[in-house]
Copies of this chain bind each other. A is one copy, B any other.
Amino acid sequence: MTTASIKEVARIAGVSIATVSRCMNSPDKVSEKTRIKVQDAILKTGYTPNTLAQSFRRGRTNVVMVVLPSIGDPFFTDVMRGIRNAADAKGYSIIINETQFNTMTADEIAAMVVSRQTDGIILLASMSPFGTEVLSAKSHRALPIVVGCETVAPELTVFPSVHIDNVAAAKEATNYLISRGHTRIGLICGAANSLLTKDREFGYRAAMHEAELGIEDGWVVNGDLTIEGAIRATRSLLNHSHRPTAVFCTTDEMAIGCLHSAKSVGMRVPADLSVMGFDDTRYAAVTDPPLTTISQPATEIGERVMYRLCREIEQGRQSSSGDNRPELVAHRLIVRESVAEPAAE
């Protein structure tokens, strides 16, 4: 298992290295007799092509980078599963880049592609808007980037994307709370500059507005996309002088924190407080009470994003791009047991 090279194989098979290479890459261009000889030599030597040399020669790595805000969130885990399914099928490896806001600038990310560390990028993360440098790069030569989730930032709309209609889904969630009789509805969302939940906040506001319900100061709280953050946010919501009877959390992860926070101060869910989630992660069905939420087809999103990226990579620099309209996938309201009518006052 010492590093047999293509030369060694060629020597043993009694052919040129070009022929060995062809046997592996375009076997149809080689006579059967030769192919067998080479095959034997490969087995005998235990030859594996040096991937580094191949990538270098071919000018591509077959590696794709996924940028996301938190690998911990089970929703992203499911998206990742879809991405990896597709990546495996297409022969790509995945590098994960967990990026908090501003940790890595868009230009740094773009540099990874330019410097050939990756063939393309999947953006699941909210991030600081792209700078002009990337945009011009985009116009010059197509940067293979596909966005999963929202594309709120106008800079991102130049890239293809795959996601649910977050605005519509959040409206639906809010309307469901309204339909159950709630009028005082709080929102726990991501940070102000989070692309992930911006559309959901927008949908919530739109639904409240259409129902002619007011949103008081302090009803929209940043839960930081984490359990801990949501616990704090819930505390703040429950201490509000005009306390909401229902809380819409823009991720299930935060809904878990909200549930815990409410129960820990003795409130019953949903009798005293209704809680609505978003994502339908695998925990949503086993919280206590089970969570009413919006289901996203996470794995499907992941698969479609990855396949879309493959197309971008394959098209390469040629056609600057064709159809960049977002691919929308379907969401679904999942009614479980965390929402009820508000208690009479």
Contact = CB atoms under 8 A, between A and B. Distances in A.
Interface stretch (A112-120, A153-161, A170-178, A318-326): A112-120
A68 to B, nearest CB: 12
A94 B96 contact: yes
Looking at chain A, what size class is its interface with the partner chain?
A: 35 or more
Contacts of A72: 74, 77-78, 81, 282
Interface string A107-130: 000010011110000000000000
Interface in A274-290: 282-283, 285-288
A51 B115 contact: yes
- A111, A137, A260 — most chain B CB neighbours (10 Å): A260
A116 B2 CA distance: 12
Given A56-B56, A117-B51, A2 B84 contact: no
Given A71-B77, A286-B257, A1 B114 contact: yes
Contacts of A55: 52, 55-56
Contacts of A283: 227, 256, 283
Interface in A77-109: 77-78, 80-81, 84, 93-96, 98
Count of identical protomers in the assembly:
2
Interface in A48-76: 48-53, 55-56, 59, 61, 63, 71-72, 74
Contacts of A2: 140-141
A239 interface: no
A52 B60 CA distance: 8
A60 to B, nearest CB: 8
A116 B260 contact: no
A263 to B, nearest CB: 7
A136 interface: yes
B133 A117 contact: no
B93 A117 contact: yes
A236 interface: no
10 contacts: A1-B137, A48-B111, A48-B115, A51-B115, A72-B78, A72-B81, A72-B282, A256-B286, A260-B285, A287-B288
Query: What are the 10 A-B residue pairs with the smallest beta carbon separation, nearest first?
Result: A260-B286, A48-B115, A56-B56, A288-B288, A72-B77, A1-B137, A52-B56, A52-B116, A51-B117, A93-B95
